[in-house]
Amino acid sequence: MTDEEARDQLFRDVSRETQERLTLYHAALVKWQKAINLVAPATLAHAWHRHFLDSSQVFDAARVSSGRWVDIGSGGGFPGLVCALIAVEKAPDLSFSFVESDIRKCSFLREVARQCDVPIHVFSRRIEDVPPQDAAVLSARALAPLDQLLGFADRHLAMDGVCVFQKGTSHLEELESARADWQMEVEIIPSVTAADAAILRIGHIAHA
């Protein structure tokens, strides 16, 4: 899939207003990447495929329309900020918070949200230092091994909340390892952008 095809696939399912917000986000990413390493440099030319379409599938996987969505280790905003822009149209009762310890990346998240006129809250802190969030959705991409992510979820996820964690080719091994310490309900959703990758939709988390 070319980057243009990925953009077109994403745009087919959203309104013109959402398309405009995503386009502003893409332009800001290209501009800020020159000064801040927001994404791997080799992926910038394929950002619609590698980052925007890849993140939009997380919104679909969550299947939650209200409450607090908390994106941890947000970096350049993937997947959480893409989901926030889509939610303006498709789930306006969701509110979005971002946890990112890099102050420059926090400034980027706030600037994109300002340009797109989307309210968000950004914690410029380590995940361990953020008060429990009672999140309806907890999302993360390329942040930490699954067992560590479940530790964050144990602190920040609401009792009936869900995690949507993007994982690569080792997701089955990570899942098997995490089950030594955690009980959970898991749905494995194949990625639409990367072979052998998946979104792990996880709920009812408890220590084993």
For residue 191, pLDDT beyond 90: yes
Convert the pLDDT of each residue in 5-35 to its tens digit.
999 999 999 999 999 999 999 999 999 999 9
Domains, the chain, with CATH or none: 3-207 (3.40.50.150)
Distance of CA 85 to the CA centre of its chain: 12
Q: Which residues are annotated as a binding site?
A: 73, 78, 127-128, 141
Residues 6+ apart with CB under 8 A from 166: 54, 58, 79, 140, 141, 142, 191, 197, 198, 199
Share of the chain above pLDDT 70, in %: 100
Convert the pLDDT of each residue in 105-161 to its tens digit.
999 999 999 999 999 999 999 999 999 999 999 999 989 999 999 999 999 999 999
Average pLDDT over residues 181-200: 96
C-alpha 107/C-alpha 35 separation (Å) is: 12
The edge-to-edge listing of strands for the beta sheet with 121-123 is 121-123, 93-99, 66-72, 135-141, 157-167, 198-207, 182-190
**3-class secondary structure, 121:** strand
Q: Which residues are annotated as a binding site for S-adenosyl-L-methionine?
A: 73, 78, 127-128, 141
* pLDDT class of 188 with cuts at 50, 70, 90: very high
- Predicted pLDDT at 2: 95
Is residue 88 within 8 Å of residue 18, measured between CB atoms? yes
C-alpha 195/C-alpha 82 separation (Å) is: 21
